[in-house]
Structure 1
Amino acid sequence: MADNCESEAVLAAVIKCVNFAAVKHKDQRRKDPEQTPYINHPVGVAYLLVESGVKDLAVLQAALLHDTVEDTETSHEELVVEFGPKVAGIVAEVTDDKNLDKEERKRLQIINARSASREAKLVKLADKLYNLRDLERSVPQGWTQERVEEYFQWAAKVVAGCRGNSEFLEGELDKLFVKWKVNL
């Protein structure tokens, strides 16, 4: 009976995150030509983690919430209240400071990946894999082939700082890097 109650609590916690993220991202779209609903991204990132064998509830919750502070009106404090300090902390580790210019944010992702927690590295690996697969499937409006190739090169540098945490995610990323002739 205890296992059933625990399973129900885990399921409720995941559904709460999905709902929270869906509400926060409700008006957002991805940059692909189809303008896919944005919520597909965090759900897809969480699913990649499940597919890779991650069972840590906090990691899955953080994956679902990973872009809320960066891309919506959500505060870190709101995540602490709603989901606890562990989940909010993982989200904080993978959140870019939008007050910085794009190049600095990209540079800091490479540097910060090295010292991130294992949980944040897992979210970052799944996020990069989702984004690269999405980029391969459909180039965002206004992107040149050169920009796509630059994104793959940059993503490989971020991933380098996250290695040693998921054989599955890293293997899937490596397949893309080899296909796109990225220097590893």
Structure 2
Amino acid sequence: MDEVLLLTRAFAFAAEKHVHQRRKGANAEPYVNHLAEVAHLLAVAVHGRDANLVAAGLLHDVLEDTQTTRDELAATFNEDIAALVSEVTDDKSLPKQERKRQQVVHAPGKTDRAKMLKLADKTSNLRDLAASPPADWSTERRLDYVRWGRDVVAGLRGVHPWLETQFDDAAATAERALAGK
């Protein structure tokens, strides 16, 4: 499939699947904004040379947050994209704290491309936390989220210095924003 068609198809698919979702922040931005930011970070990181990875950035939450199956993802796109999305998908049958623990434990064993995807996702999440934190989250909960993000990313390091710098900047900005609260 042509790369432009692949990416526009992935964006349309993600937008349709996440149509009713909003970010948790006080501004309640459309969820698709997060997906677009993750894809953009990846596109910059790979200099536009890995359309499957960028498409996976758009689709990274579709298995976790919608009724989409891995088989549907593979049939609609390709096995590489389905594998990448599956690799970064949490097992929603587990309690939230266990899912968070597993992200930290399993981060070092991810493939390099999955590590890049997780770095872009965590960066976007921390940027959102700094700009529009969930109103019902205490400062301590917000700081805990930043600490947890740092713990996950510790296991992703060594794969892409620019993405790591983007994450570090986002974490520092979130911490500064929270210190001002």
Pick which of 52-61 and 153-162 moved more. Answer: 52-61
The ranges of structure 1 where at least 4 consecutive aligned residues each deviate by more than 6 angstroms after the TM superposition are none
Q: Distance in 2 between matches of 1:134 and 1:176?
A: 9
For 1:22-75, what per-residue CA distance to the aligned partner results, in whole angstroms no more than 9, with x for missing partners? 000011111112211111111110011122234211111110100001001111
Aligned to 2:146: 152
Identical pairs, percent: 43
2:7 is equivalent to residue 14 of structure 1: yes
2:83 is equivalent to residue 82 of structure 1: no
Map 1:113-152; keep pairs closer than 5 Å.
113-152=107-146
- The one-letter code matched in structure 2 to 1:171 is T
Aligned match for 2:19, one of 13, 16, 26: 26
Aligned residues of 2:7 and 2:55 also touching (Cα < 8 A): yes
Matched residue count: 174
Unaligned runs of 5+ in 1: 1-5
Aligned match for 1:41, one of 34, 53, 69: 34
- The one-letter code matched in structure 2 to 1:91 is V
Map 1:50-89; keep pairs closer than 5 Å.
50-54=43-47, 55-89=49-83
Q: Distance in 2 between matches of 1:109 and 1:173?
A: 16
Unaligned runs of 5+ in 2: 177-181
Map 1:95-114; keep pairs closer than 5 Å.
95-114=89-108
Give the secondary-structure state (helix, strand or coil) at the position aligned to 1:39.
Answer: helix
For 1:130-159, what per-residue CA distance to the aligned partner results, in whole angstroms no more than 9, with x for missing partners? 000110111113101001100010001111
Q: Distance in 1 between matches of 2:121 and 2:171?
A: 15
- The one-letter code matched in structure 1 to 2:37 is G
Q: Distance in 2 between matches of 1:87 and 1:97?
A: 18
Distance 1:29 1:177, change over 3 A: closer
With the length of structure 1 as denominator, give the TM-score of the two structures. 0.90
Question: RMSD across aligned C-alpha pairs, in angstroms?
Answer: 1.4
Pick which of 95-104 and 33-42 moved more. Answer: 33-42
For 1:83-121, what per-residue CA distance to the aligned partner results, in whole angstroms no more than 9, with x for missing partners? 111110000011011100000000011111111111111
Aligned residues of 2:35 and 2:58 also touching (Cα < 8 A): yes
Q: Distance in 1 between matches of 2:113 and 2:45?
A: 13
With the length of structure 2 as denominator, give the TM-score of the two structures. 0.91
Pick which of 33-42 and 52-61 moved more. Answer: 52-61
